[in-house]
Structure 1
Amino acid sequence: MTHASLFSGIGGFDLAAEWAGWTNAFNCEIDPFCQRILKYHFPHAEQYGDIKTADFTVWRGRIDVLTGGFPCQPFSLAGKRRGTEDDRYLWPEMLRVIRTVRPRWVVGENVLGIVNWSQGMVFEQVCADLEAEGYEVQSFVIPACGVGAPHQRYRVWFVAHHAAAYGSNAGVEAMQERGNGVYADRDAADTESQRLPVPWKSRNRRAGFENRHIIPDWWNFPTQSPVCSRNDGVPDGLDGITFPSWRIQSIKGFGNAIVPQVALQIFETINEYEFNRYKP
């Protein structure tokens, strides 16, 4: 499976793709600090900067799963919620890339505020745009604590499967069935004893592929920012980055990042569907 990410940040989707056994073909991120993080961890992936000017025509028909946490600031309760009037409203740009690349799967992510902004106008627009391009769409609200994390972090996930490629919406139906189990322990996830499911702790192979990284559990997960106190996975030896800048940019990067363990749940369902449908 070949994966590519838009609005890549520090690579949450890309990391989950590696855990799922996929190949990261390209990423697209405009922030210079995040670009360095992506280059450090995913040196073989093609890098793009500004999504508004990047040309993705070379990837048409070559990407299985295209992901993107399109900027949430226009809808976040922490901001002014200017929505479509915000310069950072970039869903139309992601849609343009989808039309160009034509991936079989699209996975989008945004804050919970997108559901009720302007009575759900943008939420409905995202779904309608994908359906107009031939995708069957299913949306989910999944918190980080749904995969055992010691915090809530509710996010909206759009999962779209190209109906024309398979002739049915079985892909999103499989996603819906699996999604029913994600929420089982979310109310208990804030307790100190809550951990990831046992299979996650020992599994280091997926669909016949050897993973580069072992999927971490939530033991010793800090309740405050790990920057400057624990190994947070962000390299602190980046050329030309002073420590104060690294610290500020790291906090910003984590604040904007997705929880890769949530993305992995979605990716594993895609894997199950993709690989099982070809079994004799």
Structure 2
Amino acid sequence: MRTIEKLTHLSLFTGIGGIDLAAEWAGFETIGQCEWGDYATKVLEKHWPAIPKWKDVRSLTGDNFYERTGMRTVDIISGGFPCQPYSIAGKQRGKDDDRYLWPEMLRVVQEIKPTWVLGENVVGILRLGIEKILSELESIGYQGGVFQIPACSVGAAHKRDRVFIISYAIGKRWDGLEQEHGIRCPDIDISNAFEAWNNAEHLSLDFYGAISNPSSGKKRNDNGLSEGMDRLECIGNAVVPQQVYPILKSIAEIELNSRRKTE
């Protein structure tokens, strides 16, 4: 029996890597990261030094992704696309905000064609953009749903609601890839992922793992993020890894189980 191939992850709008850390815990290998911020990029360079990185999502294409990674696609693309267009702390201009970069994430998904897409944003997106986002994903062959998960549900001392958009590639979209590159999409109903999440046990915040300040040398915090960040913006934008881990773990289990059945 041949070895089951590794699970792969491309991270967009990576920040300091909260989702990437949770993806590692779940068994994914992050093979590319895209982050605009200079300080956040330094954090990523310390903890994921060998991973190809893009600064501007607008410069990431299917072609240069292949050139730098040797891969045509990945199992999952994640992205906490900028929340300012949807945040109650801002003007809530939605798609009219010049930081509205969801279309760029959609373009990358369309070019790279992952099996799964995981989007993350603030609760305001439920009022200002979620229907359009789900409709646009469906238009390029992805079906999915939405979870609203507070950080306090995994033991954090703050509410920190986040919305996670999960979509799965409809099988017929993969016909061309299978013929051209031998990439096969397993036949799985996304409802399995939702059921797996509902049955998942919440993690406590003492789960091992952390991202620490690249310069402070301070001890790691119990939520997987550093005590000594010199930019509050990074903490404010970051996803608590335990918050998204059960979703990623459920997706990993679905993918691995599917591969075992096809062996």
TM range (shorter): 0.7 to 0.9
Does the residue aligned with 2:59 lie in a helix, a strand or coil? coil
TM-score (norm: length of structure 2): 0.79
Residues 229-265 of structure 1: CA deviation (Å, up to 9, x unaligned): xxx7222259xxxxxxx9542x110101111112211
- Deviation, 1:179, is 3.0
TM-score (norm: length of structure 1): 0.75
Does the residue aligned with 2:164 lie in a helix, a strand or coil? strand
- Deviation, 1:62, is 2.6
Q: Is the 8 A contact 2:60 2:108 kept in 1?
A: no
Q: Is the 8 A contact 2:145 2:165 kept in 1?
A: yes
Does the residue aligned with 2:57 lie in a helix, a strand or coil? coil
Give the match for residue 234 of structure 1: 213
Q: Is the counterpart of residue 270 in structure 1 residue 247 in structure 2?
A: no
CA, structure 1 residues 181+21, in 2 after alignment: closer, same or farther (shift >3 Å)? closer
2-side partners of 1:46 and 1:85: how far apart? 31
- The one-letter amino acid of 1:262's match is Q
Give the match for residue 55 of structure 1: 61
2-side partners of 1:167 and 1:56: how far apart? 22
Give the match for residue 145 of structure 1: 152
Does the residue aligned with 2:61 lie in a helix, a strand or coil? coil
1-side partners of 2:26 and 2:229: how far apart? 30
Residues 81-128 of structure 1: CA deviation (Å, up to 9, x unaligned): 1111111111001001111111111100010001112xxxx2111101
Does the residue aligned with 1:268 lie in a helix, a strand or coil? helix
- Aligned residue runs from structure 1 range 146-225, under 5 A: 146-164=153-171, 165=174, 166=185, 168=187, 170=189, 172-181=190-199, 196=204, 201=207, 214-215=208-209
CA, structure 1 residues 237+103, in 2 after alignment: closer, same or farther (shift >3 Å)? same
2-side partners of 1:272 and 1:63: how far apart? 16
Q: Is the 8 A contact 1:2 1:64 kept in 2?
A: yes
Q: Is the counterpart of residue 35 in structure 1 residue 78 in structure 2?
A: no
Structure 2: unaligned runs, 5 residues or longer: 1-6, 175-184, 218-227
Once the two structures are aligned, what percentage of the paired residues are identical? 39
Does the residue aligned with 1:116 lie in a helix, a strand or coil? helix
Q: Is the 8 A contact 1:136 1:169 kept in 2?
A: no
- Deviation, 1:275, is 1.3
What value does the CA root-mean-square deviation take over the aligned residues?
Answer: 2.4
2-side partners of 1:279 and 1:23: how far apart? 19
Q: Is the 8 A contact 2:122 2:162 kept in 1?
A: yes
CA, structure 1 residues 261+115, in 2 after alignment: closer, same or farther (shift >3 Å)? same
1-side partners of 2:106 and 2:260: how far apart? 33
Structure 1: unaligned runs, 5 residues or longer: 186-194, 202-213, 217-231, 239-245
Q: Is the 8 A contact 2:121 2:164 kept in 1?
A: yes
Give the match for residue 256 of structure 1: 237
2-side partners of 1:248 and 1:41: how far apart? 17
Residues 46-71 of structure 1: CA deviation (Å, up to 9, x unaligned): 01011123334234633111000000
CA, structure 1 residues 136+247, in 2 after alignment: closer, same or farther (shift >3 Å)? closer
1-side partners of 2:45 and 2:119: how far apart? 22
Does the residue aligned with 1:278 lie in a helix, a strand or coil? helix
- Deviation, 1:215, is 4.3
2-side partners of 1:234 and 1:174: how far apart? 38
